[in-house]
Amino acid sequence: GLGRWAYADAATAGDALYDVPRFGNVSVLHMTDCHAQLKPIYFREPNVNLGVGAMKGKLPHLVGEQLLKAANIPPGSAEAHALTYLDFETAARRYGKVGGFAHLATLVKRLKASRPGALLLDGGDTWQGSATALWTKGQDMVDAAKLLGVDVMTGHWEFTLGMDRVKEIVAKDFAGKVDFIAQNVKTADFGDPVFKPYVIREMNGVPVAIIGQAFPYTPIANPRYMVKDWEFGIQDDNMQKMVDEARAKGAKLVLVLSHNGMDVDLKMASRVSGIDAILGGHTHDGMPVASIVANAGGKTIVTNAGSNGKFLGVLDFDVKNGKLADFRYRLLPVFANMLAADAAMDALITKIRAPYDARLAERLAVTEGTLYRRGNFNGSGDQLLLDALMDVQGAEIAFSPGFRWGTTLLPGQDITREWLMDMTATTYSYATVTPMTGETIKTVLEDVCDNLFNPDPYYQQGGDMVRVGGLEYACDPNAKMGSRIQDMRLNGKPIQASHTYKVAGWAPVAEEAAHAGNKPVWDVVEQWFKAQGGKVAARKVNVPRLIGAVPNAGYDA
Amino acid sequence: MADPMRIRAQASGDKAVVRVLMAHEMETGQRKDSAGKIIPAWHITDVTASLNGKQVLAAEWGPSVSKNPFLQFTIKGAKAGDKVAITWKDNHGDSRTDEATVS
Amino acid sequence: QYALAFNKTAFDAKSIADALKAYGASAPVESKDVTLTAPEIAENGAVVPVAAASSLAGVKSILLLVEKNPNALSAKFDVTDAVEPNFATRVKMGQTSDVYAVAITADGKAHYAKKEVKVTLGGCGG
Ligand SMILES: [Mn+2]
Ligand SMILES: [Mn+2]
């Protein structure tokens, strides 16, 4: 059943959900990884988010009912729908779309009204993920974030607009309004800081430090040439230095606005002391409860606020006698039907989209199945891209990156150009066709698999496994690098190490690929849609046979 | 003649942190050119540093030090105004010396 | 005036043990008084920032080595009374490997710290 709100009207349900009593004297609102979604969307959470090693069975590696149990949330409720994939289609039709900056703005205003001085923190992945963000070089999101009242931000995909564009926005658009912070981004020559490492803001008489942690592996997960003069990395030692420096300057509460990914945040919280809370992003984990991590200096709260504008994290702190005494944490889902659109934000979004409306709305097909992306191994939306890349280019195998952004469509919905761009819009989305030996294919799969399942989170990059079309394989997540990928087959026949296969892919990180004259991936996929006759059947999702990893609280078949 | 080094020497307390960027190919001797011929190794072999004319550091480098090498070290007892000089020599017999003032 | 010291035998050595032997050092023992700073994952295998330091008494030299490079030794720094036993540079790595910082003390003993640095193909993302 859909629980106690199933028959209440949306506004009443909204009041119950969003009526969060104020607590303490310092409050921060946390959004992250909205991936440029200005309008409400559907977003299906994963049914596979495996935890390996010490991470097994722990947040954020819980899915479905296991996650609800950990947070004591009744199945069928609006919150349960926001947090899980359970009964997705029915619940999505019941509760409607999520996110949208106009609805988020209403929620932010409501919470700021009850929490004087509260700051709005944006964890990044804000300027990428939609057609308009790509076409305006992030300007749409910069303007929307300013109107929303973002106070402090850090970044990841922002950097794929290139160093000059990032510097331009920080120096011009954000001047005096938004602080872009990152303690772990330095110049590649002498290691000078590129951004402010932290800011100290006073809230109700309490000096609060917010330290920025940009995505440490930006030059690896994304094209290095886009950030060639900068160095990233986790930089624990410098983080400790910044914490100590901020405390020495009088900060009584020290927060980290992080784009590490949650497993990295949990490890960092155990190694650095003096951080009161890490508000994390990148891994898109909507965490209904905070994790508490012990370290040499005490305890650190770790949270993560999901993705796509679907959630707003609320952290209220009671700072007494110069230190944190107690806190409250809530992760609020943003239901468009329960929060009226803010008029000013709605007007801005309409204005931003006006020049592109016709292009965005163009219908490419109707989908008969649900199209989504999230999950460790594959999603039906990824499968659609794989099928299109193979069919159009005559490739026998296809790879699609394990991105965690991209929105969901319900059966019967139109596949518009806007959705296709939501799934593919980056500044380097070239479609490639590469001859690869069986040995190379194995090397690639092993490499990505280790980025996902290395038992030490500092060796992970926080995406999902590369999605694979054509090729079938088995995966043993607990094995060592080099032995995780097994039994690779094409059309039932074992892959030959020395045989060369035609492999399609997109979003290459190598610089040469940017100058090879390849078409953007959306052009290739649109060609495929044209051949489908208006309808796209539900996709048969190709996932590896798992060895040894299940049962796992992060796995629902 | 090789390009000059970029040197930064900053005093902090009773020591100075010196950071140097040298311009050098640091060819490994492992790579092949387009014709399949091995490109011979060409790399800095020796680096020395001095404070006010007195040697404080000697280093030996192989070809696996990165292109346009970076070096950081800390001189004890150095103060603002002191002169730091860095010299490198490569396996072709080429060498270069540059000087900076501790600030 | 100074003598140029480049020890070709040490830099031609394939293994860490042979490189150390070329400097007359014994087999290295792990020491918490040696620190190696290096990234878990290299942003660029051609430019991996590494730093080595030691708090041991009587350190004569500090070496940086990459186990799986064709020649293990990358750099050797001689410590004088005028510099701290703490050096940073950037090295090339052909593949994922343990990186070693080795401090050789006056008695010819070698002490090390190591860390695995992953060299990855890249390209994925949250
Ligand atoms: Mn990210
Ligand atoms: Mn993201």
Q: Whole-angstrom Cα distance, residue A260 to residue A256?
A: 10
What is the C-alpha separation between A80 and A91, in angstroms, rounded?
Answer: 9
Overall number of domains in chain B: 1
State the best of C37, C50, C74, C81 to mutate against chain B, taking most chain B CBs within 10 Å: C74
User: Which residue of C43, C116, C120 is in closest CB contact with A447?
Assistant: C120
Looking up residue B48, the CATH number of its domain turns out to be 2.60.40.10
A402 near C CB under 8 A: yes
pLDDT at A12: 72
Distance from CA of A191 to the nearest CA of B (A): 10
User: What residues pack around ion ligand 2 (CB closer than 5 A)?
Assistant: A 33, 125; C 126
Chain A environment of C39 (Cβ under 8 Å): 233-234
Tokens representing A452 are 């996902």
C45 part of contact set with chain A, CB < 8 Å? no
CB contact under 8 A, C87 and B66: no
CA of A44 to the centre of ligand 2 (A): 15
pLDDT per residue as tens digits for the range C59-114: 999 999 999 999 999 999 999 999 999 999 999 999 999 999 999 999 999 999 99
Give dist(CA A210, CA A180) in Å, integer. Answer: 11
Residue B1 domain-assigned (yes or no): no
Place of tokens 């280093």: B59
Task: Give how far the C-alpha of residue A49 lies from the chain's centroid of Cα atoms, to the nearest Å.
Answer: 14
What one-character-per-residue DSSP string does A432-497 give?
Answer: EEEEEEHHHHHHHHHHHHHHHH-SSGGG--S--PPEEESEEEEE-TTSPTTSSEEEEEETTEEPPT
Spatial CA neighbour of A223 closest among C28, C40, C122, C42:
C122
Q: Is the pLDDT of residue A14 over 80?
A: no
User: Which residue, chain included where needed, has tokens 């359970």?
Assistant: A86
Class in CATH terms, A31-350: alpha beta
C-alpha to C-alpha distance for A202 and A375, rounded to whole angstroms: 40
Residue with tokens 């080795």: C102
Instruction: Read off the pLDDT band of A433 (50, 70, 90).
Output: very high
- pLDDT, tens digit, for every residue of A148-197? 999 999 999 999 999 999 999 999 999 999 999 999 999 999 999 999 99
- Among A237, A456, A462, whose Cβ lies nearest the Cβ of C126? A462
What pLDDT score was predicted for residue A115?
97
What pLDDT score does A1 carry?
Answer: 45
How many A from CA of A360 to the centre of ligand 2? 22
For chain B, what's the residue count?
103
As a dihedral over the C-alpha atoms of residue A419, residue A422, residue A428, residue A432, rounded to 10 degrees, the angle is -40
Q: Which residue range forms the structural domain that includes residue B50?
A: 6-101
Preceding peptide of C85 cis, ω within 30°:
no
The listed CATH number (1.10.240.10, 3.30.465.10, 3.90.780.10, 3.20.20.210) that belongs to domain A362-546: 3.90.780.10
Answer for the pair B89, C99: CB distance below 8 angstroms, yes or no.
no
Residue A461 pLDDT level (bands cut at 50, 70, 90):
confident
Centroid of ligand 1 to alpha carbon of C126 (angstroms): 4
pLDDT at C2 over 50: no
Report CA(A260)–ligand 1 centroid distance (Å).
8
Q: Find, among A423, A541, A534, A406, the residue nearest to A42 by Cα.
A: A406
* C-alpha distances out from residue A350 to A144, A160, A344, A355, Å: 11, 26, 10, 9
Distance CA A159, CA A145 (A): 17
Segment holding A15, helix H or strand E: helix A10-18
Q: Contact, A35 vs A328, CB < 8 A?
A: no
Residue C37 exposed, middle or buried by CB count within 10 Å (0-12, 13-18, 19+):
middle
> Which residue in the block uniquely carries the two structure tokens 């005036």?
C1
Average pLDDT over residues A518-530: 97
C37 — contact with chain A (CB < 8 Å)? Answer: yes
Candidates C76, C86, C89; nearest CB to B69: C89
- How many Å lie between the centroid of ligand 1 and the Cα of residue A259? 6
Distance between CA C46 and CA A192 in Å, rounded? 21
Distance (Å, whole) CA A356 – CA A369? 27
- Mean pLDDT over the full length of chain A: 96
With CA atoms as reference, report the closest residue to A198 among A152, A157, A149.
A152
The answer, for A512 touching chain B at a CB cutoff of 8 Å, is no
Residues in chain A: 557
Q: Give the tokens for residue C41.
A: 């994952």
Q: Tens place of pLDDT for every residue, chain B, 103 residues?
A: 689 999 999 999 999 999 999 999 999 999 999 999 999 999 999 999 999 999 999 999 999 999 999 999 999 999 999 999 999 999 999 999 999 999 9
Continuous segment of H or E residues that includes residue C48: strand C48-54
Q: Is A192 on the interface with B (CB under 8 A)?
A: no
For A220, which of C41, C47, C126 is closest by C-beta distance?
Answer: C41
Contact status of A190 with chain B (Cβ, < 8 Å): yes
Which residues numbered 150-189 in A keep a CB inside 8 Å of some CB on B? 189
- Quote the tokens at residue C94: 């052909």
Q: C-alpha angle A111/A264/A281, rounded to 5°?
A: 30
Taking contacts as CB-CB distances below 8 angstroms, the residues of chain B near A189 are 6, 21
Reported as a single tens digit per residue, the pLDDT across A57-84 is 999 999 999 999 999 999 999 999 999 9
What's chain B's average pLDDT?
96
Residue B30 lies in a domain: yes
Select C25-117's CATH number: 2.40.50.140, 2.60.40.2470, 3.40.50.10890, 3.50.50.60: 2.60.40.2470
Tell me whether the omega of the peptide bond preceding residue A355 falls within 30 degrees of 0, making it cis.
Answer: no
Q: Which residues contact A100 (CB under 8 A, 6 or more apart)?
A: A37, A38, A39, A40, A41, A309, A334, A336, A341
Q: Is residue B52 part of a domain?
A: yes
Is the pLDDT at A7 greater than 60, yes or no?
Answer: no
In-domain check, residue B67 = yes
